[in-house]
Amino acid sequence: MSELAIGLAEGAEEGPCSLCGQQVSFPAGLRVMTSNKGSVCRNCAKQHVPTLVALMDLASTAERIGKIVQHNHWLPLKSHLEMAQAAERYASALTPTCREAS
């Protein structure tokens, strides 16, 4: 299996997952990709690189909450909780090796 990493796709696309071959709609933005830029579905990504999926979810939550702050200049309690939950999911997805390095 090739190396998997987070990549940034400027546009949405439909196509087969590079790992399982299932037809998937890939939205624009962050996604897990193979070293030859093939897109990987969320199920395969969660199976092979759960830490990267948790990191993308954390980034997505931060982006969405950042937009709320830009418009409201304050952050609702619900958003604080969503950010805390995303951070907790990321922290729990880290492998013991990742935790020791930080």
CB atoms within 10 A of CB 64: 13
Nearer to Zn ion, 6 or 83 (CB): 6
Stretch that binds Zn ion, among 3-11, 12-20, 57-65, 92-100 (CB under 5 A): 12-20
Among residues 13, 10, 44, 9, which one has the least CA distance to residue 26?
13
Distance (Å, whole) CA 47 – CA 94:
14
Phi, psi of 18 (to 5 degrees): -70, -15
Q: Which of the residues 31 through 50 are near Zn ion (CB under 5 A)?
A: 41, 44
- Does residue number 2 form part of the binding site for Zn ion (CB under 5 A)? no
CB of 30 to Zn ion, least distance (A): 16
Q: Which residues in this chain contact Zn ion in the complex, by CB under 5 A?
A: 17, 19-20, 41, 44
